[in-house]
């Protein structure tokens, strides 16, 4: 497994995404753990993961050659109340895991990593051109940042580390 693939799907930089999300079960969802916002937190665990999935999908579309427009506002990258009502936690987890598998497959496709792709920018800015590798690096960094926020939210909610263990710092 390459370092790039490990950054996307494994524990190259911290606990793996699967470990970070481990144990957030339907029982905990019933207690609204994934939807709670601790005092001062701008987003819930659900909102953070939905945001990861939103950008993960856009990144995968750009890698596939689909020039999905960049959102016009930051709020577009987070779920609305209606979005949360339509997508249960288990489905969001499944969507995340599917995206991680797709991004990992792209990282293993060494023949495409240096291929240039067009990645739309914020409105009013020119479209960026980068390699598939660079877009996957951006995706890995973005996911790591928001998965770290999920760990912090879990710590604040008393739900870290998961039963199988995890980094405690």
Q: What confidence category does residue 64 fall into, taking pLDDT thresholds of 50, 70 and 90? A: very high
Model confidence pLDDT, tens digit, residues 84-115: 889 989 899 999 999 999 999 999 999 999 99
Quick check: 36 and 44 in contact, CB under 8 A?
yes
Q: Is the pLDDT of residue 73 over 80?
A: yes
The secondary structure of 105-152, three-state, reads HHHHCCCCCCCEEEECCCCCCCCEEEEHHHHHHHHHHHHHHHHHHHHH
- pLDDT single digits (tens) 108-158: 999 999 999 999 999 999 999 999 999 999 999 999 999 999 999 999 999
Query: For residues 33 and 114, what is the distance between their CA atoms, to the nearest angstrom?
Result: 41
Residue ranges of domains in the chain: 3-108+116-156
Q: What is the distance between the alpha carbons of residues 2 and 4, in angstroms, rounded to a whole number? A: 5
Q: Which residue has the tokens 């959102």?
A: 71
Cα 169 to its chain centre, rounded Å, is: 21
Query: What is the Cα–Cα distance from 53 to 143, expressed in whole angstroms?
Result: 9
pLDDT at 27: 63
For residue 166, pLDDT beyond 70 = no
Provide the 3-class DSSP secondary structure of residue 59: helix
- pLDDT tens digits for range 2-51: 999 999 998 877 788 999 999 887 665 555 788 899 999 999 999 999 99
pLDDT class of 65 with cuts at 50, 70, 90: very high
CATH number of 3-108+116-156: 1.20.120.450
């Amino acid at each position: 497994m390459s370092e790039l693939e490990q950054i996307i799907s494994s524990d190259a930089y911290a606990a793996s995404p699967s470990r970070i999300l481990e144990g957030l079960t339907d029982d905990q969802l019933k207690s609204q753990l994934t939807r709670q916002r601790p005092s001062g937190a701008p987003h819930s665990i659900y909102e953070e993961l939905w945001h990861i999935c939103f950008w993960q999908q856009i990144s995968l579309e750009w890698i596939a050659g689909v020039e999905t427009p960049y959102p016009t506002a930051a709020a577009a990258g987070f779920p609305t109340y209606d979005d949360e009502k339509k997508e249960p936690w288990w489905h969001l987890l499944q969507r995340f895991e599917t995206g991680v598998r797709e991004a990992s497959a792209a990282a293993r496709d060494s023949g495409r990593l240096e291929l240039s792709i067009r990645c739309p920018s914020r409105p009013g800015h020119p479209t960026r051109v980068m390699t598939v590798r660079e877009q996957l690096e951006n995706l890995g960094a973005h996911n790591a940042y928001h998965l770290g926020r999920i760990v912090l939210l879990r710590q604040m909610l008393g739900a870290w580390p998961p039963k199988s263990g995890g980094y405690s710092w």
